[in-house]
Copies of this chain bind each other. A is one copy, B any other.
Amino acid sequence: MFKVNDDYLKLQGSYLFSNIAKKVAAFTEANPDAPIIRLGIGDVTQPLAPAIIDSLHSAVDEMAAAETFHGYAPDLGYEFLRSAMAENDYKARGCDIKADEIFISDGAKCDSGNIQEIFSRDNKIAVCDPVYPVYVDTNVMAGRTGTYDAKKGIWSDVIYMPCTAENNFSPELPTSTPDLIYLCFPNNPTGSTITKDELQKWVDYANKVGAVIIYDAAYEAYISETDVPHTIYECDGARTCAIELRSFSKNAGFTGVRLGATVIPKDLKSGDVMLHTLWARRHGTKYNGAPYIVQRAGEAVYSEAGKAQLKAQVAYYMENAKIIYEGLRDAGYSVSGGVNAPYIWLKTPVTMTSWEFFDYLLEKANVVGTPGSGFGPSGEGYFRLTAFGSHENTVAAIGRIKAL
């Protein structure tokens, strides 16, 4: 008689954003005329840039003729895209990452969920608290997190690194030693960042204790301050301890196009075993490449026209971030983030939990945000708004919140 993976049954409720979608759907059904504005899930709203659209059309035409048709992609992704990334994301920043250390995928969510698979089940993970829920949830599903304390909202075998107003949303080095450290900067959900000097301390620490840093750089395009690193490979020694996750979702609006990449330097080893080899084996065995047309779209992100158009797109969203930040501040909220990130993190009124504030905003202002407690226990009492709406909606949403 077959049995299911018991570790799946340990998961608490459903995935955060699925929960939110269900709540909003229920509210909309009960209030069909409510003018809902969604600043919850980090989904973009601006159309793809013209350079990307051109590239997609051109690639589609290639698929229409036998001479230029493309079937299965190479295991690691097309060389044209890996080279563009190596050149623009790494070499241009003085980082030593080769094209064949970059694995193209269909997005950073998949990669951040799957990467734990190449590690031993008894490895111990450390996560910022609050943080993107995929890191912890996928380790729960792999049986790596122990038992859940429903009262505290924590797993027995996870090292939580609180990021709250008290430490300026910047994690401190853990007191017990982890094997895998998930870091995401600019941070989702707090919008906080880390300076290059601070990140260097993490790299030195990981090399010292023999830990691997899984560095999620999905929001690097939103960095505006010069001392904030765009990649962990700006730090000395990162090649022997860090895996970096890259996304095209937020810098190029690919949430519905699906493209990402994982960087594993060949110097990152456990004894003689390169993690690069293990991830290559996973790619070869369980994955069949991102679509050719999508990889061509990714290449266009690095064209001169693409760069200019996407710079304007990021600026558009960051103008929203400013509107949200200043509007909430003027309304008396404690706010952070929004300077190097498309996320604004606010303290909920003292009388409300994160989910109570979610319901309150949805009912009274018809604005959807994300409850901070969904990102971890230290997120309780906080709330995330995203800058990915349209200008009009953003201005309207903040106006409604101010009017409450």
A59-90 Cβ-contact flags toward B at 8 Å (1 or 0): 01101111001111101000000000000000
A33-69 with Cβ < 8 A to chain B: 41, 43-48, 50, 53, 56-57, 60-61, 63-66, 69
A336 to B4, CA, bound (A): 38
Interchain CB contact under 8 A, B2 and A293? no
Nearest-CB distance from A205 to chain B (Å)? 13
Interchain CB contact under 8 A, B57 and A9? no
Interchain CB contact under 8 A, B65 and A4? no
Does A120 lie at the interface of the complex (its beta carbon under 8 Å from any beta carbon of B)?
yes
Interchain CB contact under 8 A, A5 and B121? yes
Interchain CB contact under 8 A, A3 and B258? no
A167-201 Cβ-contact flags toward B at 8 Å (1 or 0): 00000000000011000000000000000000000
Given A57-B60, A64-B47, A4 and B278 contact (CB-CB distance below 8 Å)? yes
Give A294's nearest chain B residue, CB to CB.
B291
A66 to B24, CA, bound (A): 22
A281: chain B residues within 8 A (beta carbon): 8, 11, 14-15, 141
A246: chain B residues within 8 A (beta carbon): none
Nearest-CB distance from A252 to chain B (Å)? 12
Interchain CB contact under 8 A, A3 and B63? no
A356: chain B residues within 8 A (beta carbon): none
Interchain CB contact under 8 A, A60 and B63? no
Interchain CB contact under 8 A, A15 and B285? yes
How many chain A residues have a CB neighbour from B under 8 Å?
82
Does A330 lie at the interface of the complex (its beta carbon under 8 Å from any beta carbon of B)?
no
A61: chain B residues within 8 A (beta carbon): 53
Interchain CB contact under 8 A, B270 and A122? no
Interchain CB contact under 8 A, A4 and B275? yes
A3: chain B residues within 8 A (beta carbon): 119-120, 122-123, 179, 270
Binds B, one of A108-116, A157-165, A318-326, A345-353: A108-116
A368: chain B residues within 8 A (beta carbon): none
Name the one of B8, B56, B113 contacting A63, with C-beta atoms under 8 angstroms.
B56
Give A287's nearest chain B residue, CB to CB.
B110
Interchain CB contact under 8 A, B56 and A71? no
Interchain CB contact under 8 A, B4 and A273? yes
A118 to B294, CA, bound (A): 29
Does A244 lie at the interface of the complex (its beta carbon under 8 Å from any beta carbon of B)?
no
Binds B, one of A94-102, A206-214, A231-239, A358-366: A206-214
Does A117 lie at the interface of the complex (its beta carbon under 8 Å from any beta carbon of B)?
yes
A231-273 Cβ-contact flags toward B at 8 Å (1 or 0): 0000000000000000000000101111000000000001001
Interchain CB contact under 8 A, B73 and A46? no
Nearest-CB distance from A95 to chain B (Å)? 22
A43: chain B residues within 8 A (beta carbon): 71-72
A73: chain B residues within 8 A (beta carbon): 256
Does A402 lie at the interface of the complex (its beta carbon under 8 Å from any beta carbon of B)?
no
A46: chain B residues within 8 A (beta carbon): 66, 69
A8 to B286, CA, bound (A): 12
Closest 10 CB pairs of A and B: A1-B210, A113-B286, A3-B120, A2-B179, A15-B284, A43-B71, A71-B255, A70-B256, A256-B292, A56-B60
